[in-house]
Structure 1
């Protein structure tokens, strides 16, 4: 259907005055745009491959993990060179050129095109169908490509500006080629996609201002209803992203700013708040309170660190015990062949490095999360809450903390800013991680309960580790995140019941207005997900339901 629509729109004899002259002008403009781009794409693989020839000992290349001159070094290069060349070969063959030039024209349209409202509706609806089809096919790739291109440019700019690549001519040449090509090409693509959206908006608005051009009242009524039913044409993905003129500016801003600043700001804010709060509002001497905090922190993090340190070794042991298991990538080749051993030379260290990197990252996130939980929850429950009178509390906080509304205000707003910043940085990962962890647990449970791993003891052991570690750790994280939301709700509610503690009417009025303006602190992402006490139950419920449905579905197929 889309092909017929395009052929109808590109019919030269229907809407253009002089097809031959317009065709020559269009083809000339088309060649001017695509010729330098094709030239750059055809040269890019040679530039990248030249880095291997000029600097084969550069640590950026995988074979250099082995001792230079050893057998493994040359065996890895035997696999590394053809793999790189095969990956870049489509750019050598085709680039982005088209086999035949389109017959579309940019100008010289016949006047009859805009004289009848039916012609306008047919052309606009056809364009709408084409762009919608393009958006459904390629729109879902916009966000991943933008993230990869942005990180690529940020990394290259860091090496160039930071001086890490000044002594390496080949790396310097590749980075200087990579930055303008990636950033400029993607920015231009977003800019032209935004021009489509902007032009569609102006086109729809022009139908309202130009309604007096039609003499017949039926035509004016027809165009009025058609204009109200039209939405702007755009490039993107329905319900996910719409590329506007601002999108190109946003990616440039993201490249300049980066995400490392957000992570560093969040970490520094949390540490500085903890230090200043402990120094100001913990009772003196604070040694007992610090010992209690450190003891609780170590009790939680030590078993988690031990499990995370053993996890890569346990998973990699499956490769050593069962190297020919079909779950491992090298078994796509014939066992005992050169490609089989060459693939294992790459697969084993890459797998171990990925697992170690992942566990170290998880350890850092888990320790930071534990720190926030142990600090924020007591503050919300005992520090600034008014459930218990100040002088009757048994906790390390001074009772002066709740004697002045200004102290409560500063503490709560600071926590709110820190937790909101954390939600913007990490909150968008909660939903994808929950989906991946849930499917991982459901699949592992199916293999164990359904008997798919009974004959393989190592696989069964790994699955028995994956299920409790994944399910329990994520459930505990959701449960404690829900405790923060629950404690914040109770803390705000206590300010209403404890309003009589302040003798001054101005303080009571101040706390009343402050309580009304406050929203509970939570972990999540604004407008997408809020982790409450029910979220952990829903996660466990989803795992149980998914496992039962999977077992029933595969049992019926058998």
Structure 2
């Protein structure tokens, strides 16, 4: 938890540091102003305060989601790896949970709870992914285009920030893909549940067909799966090359 807090504020400092050192980069809103107003101290301070505050709020939201994800991991992992797995011979849960009435009620409760969480907080993942992706593009742009103008300390700081932030987000995407992947295995494993009769088997079969694999994301817009982290990495890499080609052609 303390590592997450330190990483969040370090990332915020890195984002602010880029504006302090390179305020004329095209990714900042100052490029929308007339050339005569870009270099004035008033504009520099005003845009800097607005930028620092906005980035701080976004990174604090990211810290909140990361904290929720850590708590959710420790509570949710045993459920989809052992408690609700029908192919696990010795689950760690209570034997009463294996009764169909308790089993279905508990799983449906978790399904509804996760659905409510995603409906109320899942939309935050969309701007966070956009922010982290743009931050990766900015870091790549500065490292490649300003390499000869930066000192060793600046290079090391910027590279470490980029690796740390991108790795943290890829880790979150990997965790979301892991939940979806194991949730699919949970539904398939219910065929191996030891039931007492045909009625219970028929009941569990209908319940299994009514369930959908759990996922992290925003309903109807974003669903994090096993390949989402790879697609994100490909998007950042492709965006970096497109940005360099655009700068070269300009």
- With normalisation by structure 1, the TM-score equals 0.39
**1:180-191 superposed matches below 5 A:** none
**2:149 aligns to what?**
455
Please say if 1:534 is aligned against 2:227: yes
Please say if 1:382 is aligned against 2:63: no
Deviations 1:68-107 (A, max 9, x none): xxxxxxxxxxxxxxxxxxxxxxxxxxxxxxxxxxxxxxxx
**In 2: Cα distance, 1:426 partner to 1:485 partner:** 18
Contact 1:318 1:459 in 2 (8 A): no
Correspondence for 2:197 among 504, 507, 510:
504
Please say if 1:493 is aligned against 2:191: no
**1:399 aligns to what?**
95
Deviations 1:529-553 (A, max 9, x none): 3211011111112222333344455
TM superposition shift of 1:485: 0.9
TM superposition shift of 1:311: 3.2
**2:24 aligns to what?**
326
Gaps of 5+ in 2: none
**1:112-261 superposed matches below 5 A:** none
Greater length-normalized contact order (CA 8 Å, ≥ 6 residues apart): 2
Contact 2:179 2:215 in 1 (8 A): yes
Partner SS state of residue 425, structure 1: helix
TM superposition shift of 1:460: 4.0
**1:272-311 superposed matches below 5 A:** 301-311=1-11
**In 2: Cα distance, 1:531 partner to 1:521 partner:** 10
Distance 1:347 1:554, change over 3 A: closer
Correspondence for 1:544 among 223, 227, 237:
237
Partner SS state of residue 489, structure 1: helix
**In 1: Cα distance, 2:81 partner to 2:195 partner:** 19
TM superposition shift of 1:479: 0.9
Deviations 1:276-334 (A, max 9, x none): xxxxxxxxxxxxxxxxxxxxxxxxx22211111333344445666x4x84358599658
Please say if 1:357 is aligned against 2:57: yes
CA RMSD of aligned residues (A): 3.1
TM superposition shift of 1:523: 1.7
Gaps of 5+ in 1: 1-300
Contact 2:11 2:161 in 1 (8 A): no
Compare CA radii of gyration and give the structure with the larger one. Answer: 1
Contact 1:376 1:415 in 2 (8 A): no
**In 1: Cα distance, 2:125 partner to 2:57 partner:** 20
- With normalisation by structure 2, the TM-score equals 0.80
Distance 1:349 1:538, change over 3 A: closer
TM superposition shift of 1:440: 3.1
Distance 1:443 1:361, change over 3 A: closer
Partner SS state of residue 530, structure 1: strand
TM superposition shift of 1:445: 1.7
**1:444 aligns to what?**
139
Please say if 1:425 is aligned against 2:120: yes
Partner SS state of residue 148, structure 2: coil
TM superposition shift of 1:526: 2.8
TM superposition shift of 1:420: 1.3
Deviations 1:462-489 (A, max 9, x none): 6424422332122111111111111111
**1:477 aligns to what?**
172
**In 1: Cα distance, 2:58 partner to 2:136 partner:** 18
Count of aligned residue pairs for this structure pair: 243
Distance 1:429 1:544, change over 3 A: same
**In 2: Cα distance, 1:368 partner to 1:506 partner:** 39
**1:522 aligns to what?**
215
